Structure 1
Amino acid sequence: MTSLVAPETTAPPRAPERREPGTRGRALELQGFRGLAALSTVVFHVWQQYYTYDAAGSHPPIDNSYVGALLSLEVIDLFFVMSAYLLTLSYARAAIDGKEGSVRPGRVFLFRRAIRILPLYFLAVLVVWSTRNPTLPGDWRDLVEHLTFTHVFDRDRIFYTLGPTWSLSLEVAFYLVLVALGPLAVRACRRLRTRRARAALCAAGCGVLFVVPLVWISCARYVFDVPHTDWPVYFGPQARFGGFAAGMALAVLLTALGDDRGRLRARWASALSAVALGGLLTLSYLSDPENPAQTFYHPIAAVFWFALLYATLHIRHRERQRVRWHGLLRARWVTGVGLISYSLYIWHEPVMLQLDKSGLLPSTQAGFPVAVLVVVLVALAVGTLSYWFVEYPAGLLGRAKDGKGRAREFYPGAEREATTVR
């Protein structure tokens, strides 16, 4: 953070630099979001295991429709919005404020992303696939598609091996799009004289990226009448990029506003959060696949997640402690789950299926609450071990290079300084 005291120099005083919108408090809150979202994903998949989809492909039925709406609330778009927000910030700052030193070279960015997701992902795919294919060659196509992140385009195998990891295919696609378009946006903004024009250009680009999936979904559903169960059509990056576009737009908005403008009072932040959460629950409640709200569920949900994150990240500094919602996000047990959220996300489904296969879960729907408790506890234990024995060591390797791709020189305290929001 820059000093507000002018430096002792004979040169004309410069305007104070804008403080970047990332702070330690907000990092904890985002980690809290990851923790709650990961737990919600576990409960959702246990629910799917006990309440199977009906013939029309609706969300699993349950007697109380309001409880069903809460349980069926899909949070994958929140992961997309947060990921895009965090990874786009450096490009937004370079494009709008000219802070090009904050942008890592594409090879460094991709190296760190690979270190972040590949070791655990490859290990899990190989372990789960080998246990389910004990006789070679097994379903070798399923293995190849998962190792190359192309299973999202296979209607039959998209949910094989590690069902939830179809979303990682979209993450990888986003990384490639970001390293391609980010530098182009920075170069284009150099030609613009005013900061407002640069911000408008970046926002327009995010808008285009958000609209393209809407056009795709509209054509697929209302022109070609593609059923919603044709998973690659509606789960592929061409249909689900709206979540990433919303996150990119959030990074552009907060960079454009800077540290002072547009900050919400506590009561307005609480009201906006309530509206966003209410909108998400309403979307979840409208479970009829023929309902237009369900057809465009994910783009609409991305807008609500955008609003919720804005209400969380851009509150007046002195009023942050007045929002109880933030206290939950910063709670140690929530941020602790957030720390291991990737491992929890990877392992919870095979843990659940193995527990069920071993007869360790109740066999009737009445035992659903017990099943949730058992799966959550076991998955948390496995996720914790996975984090410390796989994720954390891999993360140390990722810190071996600095932002320019050079070997990092370690010294006492260097590891702490190198820690960033994942």
Structure 2
Amino acid sequence: MSTTITATARTTATVTEATTAKGKGLPPEGAPARSRAREIEGYRGLAALSTVVFHVWQQYFRYDADGSHPPVDNHFLGSLISLEVIDLFFVLSAYLLALSYARAAIDGGTTRPARSFLYRRVVRIVPLYFLAVMVVWSIRNPTLPGNWTDLFEHLTFTHVWDREQIFYTIGPTWSLSLEIMFYLALVVLGPLAVRACRRLERRAARVAVCAAGCLLLYAGPLAWIAVAHYGFEVPHTDWPVYFGPQARFGGFAVGMGLAVLVTALKDRARLGTGAAWTLRLAAVAGTYGLSLLTTDPENAATTFFHPAASLLWGLMLFSTVHVRRQERRRGLLTSRWLTGVGLVSYSLFIWHEPIMLELDKAGLLPQSQAGYPLATLIVLLVAVPVAVLSYWVVEYPTGMLGKLKDYRGRPRDFYAEAKPAR
């Protein structure tokens, strides 16, 4: 799996920003209700831990003349562990970032200028990513010139197009290439949608236009996958074909559609506790069922796993963000330890694979497949503290650079002269 844990907007930051908009009625991108912020952070935490467990699982696969052999020969357990959650991050990222555009298009209002949006995304994603790529690449290329093609592609987020090196240096970061491409697409498509909807008088028509656009963005990758697999018989190992934006933007389309749906409904048809849990469990069960069916890399369940899983993750998120307001919400998703993991999830995503490979190289991980559970525990015990350190030393300070510009993207004057007293 590859998570763009990514790479998604930090919920707690957007909630804080929503309270400091100086009364201008300008909603920041991706600001969910304060009561939902901790649950979303909890989802990030669960997905981050799932990512680590999955990549250690991949590391312990063994291959011989008879095929591949998982670390635990149990199909039901293997389907649970290998339940990729990359699509959850795509859906969540798109939902949070497209929410302000959906509100502006359907109900009017102002969105953040493209330069401001992209600036904040860059300071959120790039510093830690560049640092990690340079460190890991240097360790793996101790003598110059080294693999300069790999370094260039990673620093330009173009490695997703390279069939041979897509998983080099930091394997899971192929998904960051898609995140960057989505940001660029959103600052083009979002304002276009807002401009088109302003010409429509009826709210229902504006909702229909936004929904139709999301449907087209979802249908495009679906058609691409079908034509590539059934029309041209492209094998699933041709990574750029099935991992590029033309195949994987369906997850972002679902997140954008969720933003449109939540905006369109507003406070109508909010789910009660029972209905919310029913939808949530149905989404998880459906995704797990898909994973169970992916026994053959060329069957339909495997071929269309990610578009289908995106819809199910979207349903799960809907059952979380569109529920009746309650005074207090307690549970696993809002537990302090899990939301703490969610807070450092991007750092955990970036560092866990290099840490795992270095531990294995140093002989600090069990060598037999039976040692998989212990290996997972060891990687977590090392990677989580490193992620915490990385967050406070790199992520948090560089993230503060976003405050150098205001909502309109104009530089803030922190040393303005005091106004003379009247």
Q: Structure 2 length as normaliser, TM-score?
A: 0.88
C-alpha distance in structure 2 between counterparts of 1:195 and 1:393, whole Å: 42
1:268 aligns with 2:291: no
Counterpart mapping for 1:197-208 below 5 A: 197-208=205-216
C-alpha distance in structure 1 between counterparts of 2:189 and 2:400, whole Å: 28
In the other structure, the counterpart of 2:357 is: 353
Letter in 1 for 2:251: G
Letter in 2 for 1:160: Y
SS of residue matched to 2:144: coil
In the other structure, the counterpart of 1:212 is: 220
Q: CA deviation at 1:21?
A: 8.0
- Calculate percent identity across the aligned residue pairs: 67
1:129 aligns with 2:133: no
> Which whole-Å deviations, capped at 9, do the CAs of 1:264-315 have from their partners, x for residues lacking one?
1111111111110001111111122122011000000000000000011111
- Taking a change above 3 Å as real, the CA distance of residues 153 and 119 of structure 1, as seen in their structure-2 partners, is same
1:62 aligns with 2:72: yes
CA contact (8 A) 2:55 2:353 kept: yes
CA contact (8 A) 2:53 2:376 kept: yes
CA contact (8 A) 1:95 1:185 kept: yes
In the other structure, the counterpart of 2:310 is: 302
In the other structure, the counterpart of 1:335 is: 339
In the other structure, the counterpart of 1:12 is: none
1:47 aligns with 2:76: no
Q: CA deviation at 1:365?
A: 0.8
Aligned pair partner of 1:24 in 5, 21, 34: 34
- Taking a change above 3 Å as real, the CA distance of residues 143 and 196 of structure 1, as seen in their structure-2 partners, is same
SS of residue matched to 1:130: helix
C-alpha distance in structure 2 between counterparts of 1:241 and 1:58, whole Å: 30
> Which whole-Å deviations, capped at 9, do the CAs of 1:104-144 have from their partners, x for residues lacking one?
11011000000000000000000000111111111100000
Q: Which moved more, 1:382-391 or 1:22-31?
A: 22-31
Aligned pair partner of 2:150 in 133, 136, 142: 142
- Taking a change above 3 Å as real, the CA distance of residues 390 and 59 of structure 1, as seen in their structure-2 partners, is farther
SS of residue matched to 1:73: coil
CA contact (8 A) 1:266 1:320 kept: no
Letter in 1 for 2:358: Q
Counterpart mapping for 1:367-378 below 5 A: 367-378=371-382
Aligned pair partner of 1:97 in 107, 120, 129: 107
SS of residue matched to 1:192: coil
In the other structure, the counterpart of 1:16 is: none
Aligned pair partner of 2:287 in 262, 274, 280: 280
Q: CA deviation at 1:62?
A: 3.3
- Taking a change above 3 Å as real, the CA distance of residues 270 and 58 of structure 1, as seen in their structure-2 partners, is farther
Letter in 1 for 2:33: T
Unaligned runs of 5+ in 1: 2-19, 412-422
CA contact (8 A) 2:71 2:370 kept: no
Q: CA deviation at 1:359?
A: 0.9
- Taking a change above 3 Å as real, the CA distance of residues 354 and 81 of structure 1, as seen in their structure-2 partners, is same
C-alpha distance in structure 2 between counterparts of 1:58 and 1:276, whole Å: 29
CA contact (8 A) 1:54 1:61 kept: no
Letter in 2 for 1:262: A
CA contact (8 A) 1:53 1:61 kept: no
1:228 aligns with 2:236: yes
CA contact (8 A) 1:59 1:72 kept: no
Number of positions where the alignment pairs a residue of Structure 1 with one of Structure 2: 386
Letter in 2 for 1:346: I
In the other structure, the counterpart of 1:73 is: 83
Letter in 2 for 1:37: A
Letter in 2 for 1:171: E
> Which whole-Å deviations, capped at 9, do the CAs of 1:74-127 have from their partners, x for residues lacking one?
000000000000000110111001012xx1110110000000000000000000
- Taking a change above 3 Å as real, the CA distance of residues 380 and 61 of structure 1, as seen in their structure-2 partners, is closer
Task: List structure 1 runs of 4+ shifted beyond 6 angstroms.
Answer: 53-59
- Taking a change above 3 Å as real, the CA distance of residues 54 and 296 of structure 1, as seen in their structure-2 partners, is farther
C-alpha distance in structure 1 between counterparts of 2:387 and 2:290, whole Å: 30
Aligned pair partner of 2:96 in 77, 86, 90: 86
SS of residue matched to 1:317: coil
CA contact (8 A) 2:94 2:253 kept: yes
SS of residue matched to 2:32: coil
C-alpha distance in structure 2 between counterparts of 1:379 and 1:263, whole Å: 39
In the other structure, the counterpart of 2:26 is: none
C-alpha distance in structure 1 between counterparts of 2:181 and 2:112, whole Å: 18
C-alpha distance in structure 2 between counterparts of 1:267 and 1:319, whole Å: 17
- Taking a change above 3 Å as real, the CA distance of residues 56 and 22 of structure 1, as seen in their structure-2 partners, is farther
CA contact (8 A) 2:236 2:297 kept: yes
Unaligned runs of 5+ in 2: 1-14, 16-29, 416-422
Q: Structure 1 length as normaliser, TM-score?
A: 0.88
